[in-house]
């Protein structure tokens, strides 16, 4: 029997998610880096507002959100703080090890972890998650390892797409839609 056929149904894995680990550059942003006249201190990544609100909904649903990046900038720190992201790990050497440490500290097993990445350094996130997603513009090697390749690109709604799938699987989406109309 093929490994794919032995997996639990997608919704069952997503329904168990308690930790969502995300790469930043290429997932939360489109991966482009714009510098101002002040060099790296003027780093100006762009974030998608729909990704941001989806992360707030995830946290309201009790899911811990973690950003794990090999880079870092004041803009990323500011956006994470603005969204209330509790786990922000920048300039990390090993995303796999960083995610393992978060899981151990929070007592959240691999089986309750979802992640998203777009490039080779994110393979470590795949290895520590039960469900792994890749934005549509992720490297082919990452897409091959993904349980889901989103229709949207990184920094352009890919995170929102994954969050909605998780919230639907957990039976929480309709209440978010209903609350929006109040």
Give the CATH number, domain containing residue 147. 3.40.50.1000
- SS3 annotation, the chain: CCHHHHCCCHHHHHHCCCEEEECCCCCCECCCCCCECCEHHHCCCCECHHHHHHHHHHHHCCCEEEEECCCCCHHHHHHHHHHCCCEEECCCCCHHHHHHHHHHHHCCCHHHEEEECCCHHHHHHHHCCCEEEECCCCCHHHHHHCCEECCCCCCCCHHHHHHHHHHHHCCCHHHHHHHHCC
Indicate whether 2 pLDDT > 50.
no
Domain count of the fold of the chain: 1
Check if the beta carbon of residue 15 is closer than 8 Å to that of residue 170. yes
Would residue 119 count as lying in a domain?
yes
Band of pLDDT at residue 11, cut at 50, 70 and 90? confident
Predicted local confidence at residue 3, as pLDDT: 36
Q: In terms of pLDDT, which residue wins out, 181 or 77?
A: 77
Predicted local confidence at residue 19, as pLDDT: 98
Would residue 9 count as lying in a domain?
no
The mean-pLDDT minimum among 13-22, 35-44, 144-153 falls in: 35-44
Predicted local confidence at residue 74, as pLDDT: 84
Predicted local confidence at residue 73, as pLDDT: 82
Indicate whether 143 pLDDT > 60.
yes
Band of pLDDT at residue 93, cut at 50, 70 and 90? very high
Would residue 5 count as lying in a domain?
no
The mean pLDDT value for 148-160 works out to: 95
Would residue 144 count as lying in a domain?
yes
Range of the domain at 72: 16-180
Would residue 24 count as lying in a domain?
yes
Check if the beta carbon of residue 67 is closer than 8 Å to that of residue 78. no
Would residue 78 count as lying in a domain?
yes
Indicate whether 168 pLDDT > 60.
yes
Band of pLDDT at residue 4, cut at 50, 70 and 90? very low
Would residue 8 count as lying in a domain?
no
Mean pLDDT, the chain, integer: 89
pLDDT digits (tens, 9 = 90+) for 23-70: 999 999 876 666 566 555 556 678 889 999 999 999 999 999 999 999
Check if the beta carbon of residue 161 is closer than 8 Å to that of residue 53. no
Predicted local confidence at residue 62, as pLDDT: 96
Predicted local confidence at residue 58, as pLDDT: 97
Would residue 141 count as lying in a domain?
yes
pTM metric for this prediction: 0.89
Half-sphere exposure of 100 (CA within 13 A, CB side): 6
How far, rounded to the nearest angstrom, does the alpha carbon of residue 182 sit from its chain's CA centroid? Answer: 28
């Amino acid at each position: 029997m093929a490994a794919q056929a032995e997996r639990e149904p997608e919704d069952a894995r997503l329904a168990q998610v308690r930790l969502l680990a995300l790469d930043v550059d290429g997932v939360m942003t489109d991966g482009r880096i714009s510098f101002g006249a002040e060099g790296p201190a003027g780093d100006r990544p762009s974030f998608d507002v729909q990704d941001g609100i989806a992360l707030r909904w995830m946290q309201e649903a009790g899911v811990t959100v973690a950003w794990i990046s090999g880079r870092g900038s004041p803009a990323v720190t500011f956006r994470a703080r603005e969204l209330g992201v509790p786990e922000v790990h920048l300039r990390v050497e090993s995303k796999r090890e960083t995610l393992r440490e978060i899981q151990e500290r929070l007592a959240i097993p691999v089986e309750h972890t979802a992640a998203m990445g777009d490039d080779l350094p994110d393979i470590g996130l795949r290895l520590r998650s039960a469900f792994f997603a890749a934005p549509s513009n992720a490297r082919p090697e990452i897409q091959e390892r993904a349980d889901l390749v989103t229709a949207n690109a990184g920094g352009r709604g890919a995170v929102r797409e994954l969050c909605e799938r998780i919230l639907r699987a957990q039976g929480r989406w309709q209440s978010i839609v209903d609350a929006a109309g109040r």
